[in-house]
Amino acid sequence: MNEELKTGTTTLGLVCKDGVVLATERRATMGTLIAHKTTQKLFKIDSNLGLTVAGLVGDAQVLARYLSAEVELYKLKRNTSMTVKAASTLMANILSGRRYFPYWVALIIGGIDSDGGHVYSLDAAGGAIEDKYVTTGSGSPYVYGVLEDHYKDGLSTSEGIDLSIRALTAAMKRDAASGDGIDLAVIKKKEFKQLSENDITERKKKMGLD
């Protein structure tokens, strides 16, 4: 990938006992240039599904539209929501079909279905791996450092929100390609709720984060 096309990002997803948390920062870069400060990297796909994107903005936006359309068609045909695994498999098939001209992205698909909460990380070649927590982008090493130390099985979504904010804040302090605020969503059964900027700011204050 040419240096001019590289982009920096930090995204994460983690499974909680009562839902899933997805979070991203907002900065888009072109090399050392901060191209945009309010880039959307977190997408609502359905009431039970969300997507985070890292990589080329155009590719990410196209894939978000593809997945949203396919999920809606699935609901219309079957009168039920697509499972997280099915959405991840669908997206993996879309990615793997472009081996010679790949989408330059790293994705996280997270959500709730009848089997509980799930998060999957997907690479540009179509690999899809489920885990309890995942992170993508240039700031991901810093996020993993926080999550490895603080994540535990059975944490609540409220605890997951605080942990996600802490991890992204650490990444934004050390990764120059990540910054300019946080977008965060909690997914529970049939509920996709995005936190307001005020909510995130209040939580940062309570945790003593700058």
* Contacts of residue 127, Cβ cutoff 8 Å, sequence gap at least 6: 92
How far CA 116 is from CA of 18, 85, 187, 190, 207, in Å, comes to 8, 11, 11, 12, 29
Amino acid identity, position 105? V
Region 6-28: mean pLDDT is 90
CA distance 133 to 108: 10
Give CA 111 to chain center in angstroms.
11
Write down the pLDDT at residue 167.
96
Residue 33 tokens read as 């240039």
* Contacts of residue 131, Cβ cutoff 8 Å, sequence gap at least 6: 119, 120, 121
Write down the pLDDT at residue 1.
39
pLDDT confidence band for 35 (50 / 70 / 90): confident
Instruction: Please tell me the total number of residues recorded for the chain in this structure.
Output: 210
192-210 pLDDT, tens digit each: 999 999 999 999 999 999 7
Residue 14 tokens read as 């983690």
Higher per-residue pLDDT: 28 or 113: 113
Instruction: Give the count of beta carbons closer than 10 Å to the beta carbon of residue 13.
Output: 33
* Contacts of residue 45, Cβ cutoff 8 Å, sequence gap at least 6: 51, 64, 67, 68, 71, 87, 109, 111
Region 85-99: mean pLDDT is 92
CA distance 96 to 83: 20
Write down the pLDDT at residue 114.
93
CA distance 201 to 149: 23
Residue given tokens 């909460």 in the structure block: 117
125-150 pLDDT, tens digit each: 999 999 999 999 999 999 999 999 99
Q: Average the pLDDT over each of 28-37, 52-61, 104-113 and give the range with the smallest value.
A: 28-37
Catalytic residue numbers, as ranges: 9
Q: What are residue 28's phi and psi, to 5 degrees?
A: -115, 135
- Domain 3-207 has what CATH class? alpha beta
Domain ranges, ordered by start, for the chain: 3-207
